[in-house]
Amino acid sequence: MTPEVEFTNEWALPGKFVKNYIITYIPTDRDVPGTSYKAVDTRGEMVFFTDSELSQTIVQPYWILAKSSQALDVTVRVNSRNKTATTDFSANAPVVHTTATTTDATPAILFRRTQLGLGRFSPSDNLKPGFSMDVSVTTGSDQAGCFRILQLIDTKRFYTIIRSSVGTTLRVEIAIDSDGFVLDRKNEVLGQWNYQNAELCVGSHRTVSFPEPITDSPTYLFAGNAISGFVANEQFRTYVMYQPAGDATIWVPVKLVTWQWDASINRASASAEWPSLPNGSVSSAMSLTPDVPEWSGRILDIVETEEIIP
């Protein structure tokens, strides 16, 4: 007779271990109201282990962020007795150097007729961009892979217009509110979630820079003579993402720059002169230990809402 044996095991995964990280960017057939383009199904999401999966004999995790060497523990229970085994590992990542700045021009936020922006309005302007970031990478042994720039935006924009109809004059506030961070992306290309199509693929033991700085100058055109005010408050998270060469690898963040700007401009009425300069501020900060970027939705697919102001 064979005695009955109780056998279970349980993994303990320290830090940010996940089962998978998935980035989706697929153009759809859905129209975006008020525009001529189609919406995009896009999201960045982590897939975590379930309790039942952590009780399996073999666990194959992806390491998202490791500051130093860590240890993995597994506890095996046999006939009410526990036995814990530990294995050490070290997570290696390329060295990423970034130099990020927001414009030091005075003023940094400009207004021209019905156009409000941070930095230059177009590349042809003899002005600095609102935000600029230079990126270089150094890979070591077995660190060949590709680097991309991913940018998220949290925006709140409001402008006030005067609308007349059948002898009635209404003040209407038109708003765009992302209600959290979404993908800051314009191109409708399958799989092209990376900002400005900027990509750099390098081999091991190389030091290479992105050929051009990553720049952004948020600019908004609110056309029409009936506008009496505009307010923008936006925060950005600009990530350097890295995917090691080889099969079954995922994109991971290796550097993050956060920056923001806010601006407002108002006039007494829809027929009054605009002030020469808007109010506003701009700032940026660096993060060496970025969280995994998660989002659902794209900034261009957010629909404007209207509200009558008493």
Tell me: the pLDDT tens digits for 117-129? 898 888 777 888 9
Give the rounded percent of residues in the chain with a pLDDT score beyond 90: 37
Q: Are 39 and 288 in contact (CB under 8 A)?
A: no
For every residue of 201-222, DSSP letters joined together read EE-SS-EEE-SS-EEE--EEE-
- pLDDT (tens digit per residue) in 76-108: 666 667 777 777 766 678 999 999 999 888 888
- pLDDT (tens digit per residue) in 6-34: 556 677 666 667 788 999 999 999 988 87
Q: How many residues does the chain have?
A: 310
pTM, to two decimals: 0.86
With 0-12 / 13-18 / 19 or more C-beta atoms within 10 angstroms meaning exposed / middle / buried, residue 210 is buried
* The two three-digit tokens of residue 28, written as one number: 């759809």
Rounded mean pLDDT of the chain? 84
For residue 53, the SS3 value is helix
Distance from C-alpha of 121 to C-alpha of 261, rounded to nearest angstrom = 15
